[in-house]
Amino acid sequence: MEITCRVEDVIPLRVPRVYRVKGICEGDVQEVEIELHEDITRKPGKNAELVLSITSDKETCLKYFFCAHGYVVSNTLIGEIYRVIISLYGLLVVLKSKMPIDLKSMDHVYVGAVIKQ
């Protein structure tokens, strides 16, 4: 699944040099939050384009600037919003959608990301 978003906000976290990017997206997933480290990728500006790929294929992931693997830790319905949380060994990715997202808890996934300024 590839998701294209526009960066809405960049929030510094308490962990040094770690920040959360919030994006408003096109398609089935309406909102994305991804935590990144400044040593991996620099902070994007507001309205930058964020492209995420969530796949089970490592080779697909490696085509992106940032590639990490982790596990789906939660897939829940809160109110009318489906929320999936993926842990990349500490860094989190949160997907929010009005439609069910086809990921199950403990699925092993690769998350690729590129930010276009």
Q: Say how far residue 27 (Cα) sits from the centre of its chain.
A: 15
pLDDT at 72: 97
The pLDDT > 90 percentage for the chain reads 91
pLDDT at 55: 96
Q: Span 78-93, mean pLDDT?
A: 95
Q: Which two tokens stand for residue 89?
A: 């060994």
Q: Write the single-letter amino acid at 45.
A: G
Given CATH 2.60.200.30, say whether it is the number of domain 2-116.
no
pLDDT at 49: 96
Whole-angstrom Cα distance, residue 30 to residue 4? 10
pLDDT(117) > 90:
no
Whole-angstrom Cα distance, residue 22 to residue 56? 23
Whole-angstrom Cα distance, residue 23 to residue 4? 9
Say if CB 22 and CB 94 are below 8 A apart: no
Q: Which two tokens stand for residue 18?
A: 């770690």
> Which residue in the block uniquely carries the two structure tokens 């060994």?
89
pLDDT at 40: 87
> Which residue in the block uniquely carries the two structure tokens 């439609």?
99
Please give the biggest Cα pair distance in the chain: 36
Interval 17-68: pLDDT, tens: 999 999 999 989 999 999 999 998 888 999 999 999 999 999 999 999 999 9
pLDDT(9) > 90:
yes
The pLDDT > 70 percentage for the chain reads 100
pTM for the complete prediction? 0.93
